[in-house]
Amino acid sequence: MATTPDGQNVYAEAVATGLWREIPVFRMLLGTCPTLAVTAAIKPALTMGLCVIFVLVCSNIMVSLMRKGLRPHVRILLFTLTIATFVTIADLFLRAYQPVMSEALGPYVPLIIVNCVIIWRAEARASNSGVLLSIVDGLAMGVGFTIALCVLATIREVLGTGCLFEIPVLPKAFPAWAAMGMPVGAFLTFGLVLGFINYVSRKRS
Amino acid sequence: MLDSLKHFARESWLLVVASVLCGLLLAATNAALGPRIEVNKALKLTSLAGGLLPSAQAFVPLSSPVEVKGLDGKTESAVVFKATADDTVVGWVFKVVGSGFADKIELVVAADASFSKLVGYDVVSSSETPGFGDQIKDAYYRNQFTGAPVGQLSLVGLGAAKEQDIDSTIVAISGATISSTAVVQAMNHYLPQLKDQLQQKGLIGHGNNP
Please determine, for residue A54, whether its predicted confidence score (pLDDT) is greater than 90.
Answer: yes
Note the ipTM here.
0.85
A169: number of CA atoms within 13 Å, CB side? 14
User: Is A81 near chain B, with CB under 8 Å?
Assistant: yes
Residue of B nearest to A76 (CA): B15
pLDDT for res A117: 92
Of how many residues is chain B composed?
A: 210
Q: d(Cα B7, Cα B12) in Å, to the nearest integer?
A: 8
CA angle B183, B187, B190 (to 5 degrees): 135
What are the C-alpha distances in Å from B77 to residues B42, B62, B80?
A: 15, 11, 9
Q: Give, for B121, the enclosing helix (H) or strand (E).
A: strand B118-125
Q: Do A95 and B33 touch (CB under 8 A)?
A: yes
φ/ψ of residue A145, rounded to 5:
-65, -45
Q: d(Cα B19, Cα B16) in Å, to the nearest integer?
A: 5
pLDDT for res B164: 56
Per-residue pLDDT of chain B in tens (210 residues, 90 and over written 9): 788 888 888 888 899 999 999 999 999 999 999 999 989 988 888 888 888 998 888 888 888 878 888 888 888 888 888 999 988 899 999 888 888 887 889 999 999 998 888 999 999 888 787 778 888 988 888 989 988 888 778 888 766 555 555 677 888 888 888 999 999 999 999 999 999 988 888 888 765 444
What are the C-alpha distances in Å from A179 to residues A176, B103, B118?
A: 9, 29, 38
Q: d(Cα B96, Cα B109) in Å, to the nearest integer?
A: 7
**Distance to chain B for A171, nearest Cα, Å:** 32
Neighbouring residues of A100: CB distance < 8 A, sequence distance ≥ 6: none
Strand B154-156 relative to strand B169-171, pairing: parallel
Q: Do A71 and B29 touch (CB under 8 A)?
A: no
Q: Which residues in chain A are contacts of B26 at CB distance < 8 A? A: 85, 88-89
What are the C-alpha distances in Å from B122 to residues A88, A139, A174, A189, B104?
A: 27, 41, 35, 35, 14
Average pLDDT over residues A133-162: 95
pLDDT for res B166: 60
Q: d(Cα A18, Cα A38) in Å, to the nearest integer?
A: 21
Interface subset of A 47-66, CB within 8 angstroms of B: 62, 66
Q: d(Cα B169, Cα B162) in Å, to the nearest integer?
A: 9
Domain boundary assignment for chain B: 48-200
Closest by Cα among A2, A22, A8 to A133: A2
User: Is A33 near chain B, with CB under 8 Å?
Assistant: no
**Distance to chain A for B10, nearest Cα, Å:** 10
pLDDT for res B154: 84
Q: Do A78 and B18 touch (CB under 8 A)?
A: yes
**Distance to chain B for A188, nearest Cα, Å:** 21
DSSP state letters, B3-24: HHHHHHHHHHHHHHHHHHHHHH
Neighbouring residues of A7: CB distance < 8 A, sequence distance ≥ 6: none
**Distance to chain A for B95, nearest Cα, Å:** 18
pLDDT for res A155: 95
DSSP state letters, B46-111: HHHHHHH-TT-SEEEEPSS-EEEE-TTS-EEEE-EEEEEETTEEEEEEEEEEEE-SSSEEEEEEEE
pLDDT: is A138 or B205 the higher one? A138
Closest by Cα among B123, B163, B126, B133 to B146: B163
Query: Which residue of A80, A95, A113 to mutate against B (max B Cβ within 10 Å)?
Result: A95
Q: Where are the alpha helices (DSSP H) in A98-172?
A: 99-105, 116-124, 131-161
pLDDT: is A89 or A106 the higher one? A89
pLDDT for res B208: 47
User: Is A106 near chain B, with CB under 8 Å?
Assistant: yes
What are the C-alpha distances in Å from B4 to residues A70, A72, B7?
A: 19, 18, 5
Strand A163-164 relative to strand B75-78, pairing: unpaired
Q: Which residues in chain A are contacts of B22 at CB distance < 8 A? A: 81-82, 84-85
Q: d(Cα B29, Cα B42) in Å, to the nearest integer?
A: 20
Q: d(Cα A128, Cα A67) in Å, to the nearest integer?
A: 7
